[in-house]
Amino acid sequence: MARKNVGTRERVFSVDLKSSDAVKSAALGGSGRDGVMMEGTIGSLVHARFVENTVLEVAGTRGVLRIDLSMEDLANVSRPIGQMDSTKGGSNCS
């Protein structure tokens, strides 16, 4: 997985599932929404690791989720619950 938007701060992700049975639901826009939502399972956790310190890879028995996110990126945005800067938006997944 390569970073597609090198000049921006946008992050790339991929989901590789072994079977379409792993997809619980998927929604592409509709009803006045432009967003996309996909929900499913990667199965039981096999490993979670950083690949070459540039990609967070979470692998399960049924698939793999990869996110263009380094350990340094994660450390820079991680804060204890309750200390999220509400002016920047987003969620705190720590």
What is the separation of C-alpha 43 from the centre of its chain, rounded to a whole number of angstroms?
16
Task: Tell me the pLDDT band of 73, cut-offs 50, 70 and 90.
Answer: confident
- Give the per-residue pLDDT at 5: 57
The residue among 94 and 20 whose pLDDT is bigger is: 20
Instruction: Enter the pTM of the model.
Output: 0.70
Mean pLDDT over residues 61-75, rounded?
Answer: 92
Q: How far apart are CA 64 and CA 48, in angstroms?
A: 10
User: What b/e sequence results for 20-39 when a residue is b if at least 16 CB atoms lie within 10 Å of its CB, and e otherwise?
Assistant: eebeeeeeeeeeeeeeeeee
Contact 46, 59 (CB under 8 A): yes
* pLDDT value of residue 18: 93
Tens-place pLDDT, residues 9-47: 788 899 999 999 999 988 887 666 778 888 999 999 999
Lowest mean pLDDT among 4-13, 54-63, 65-74, 79-88: 79-88
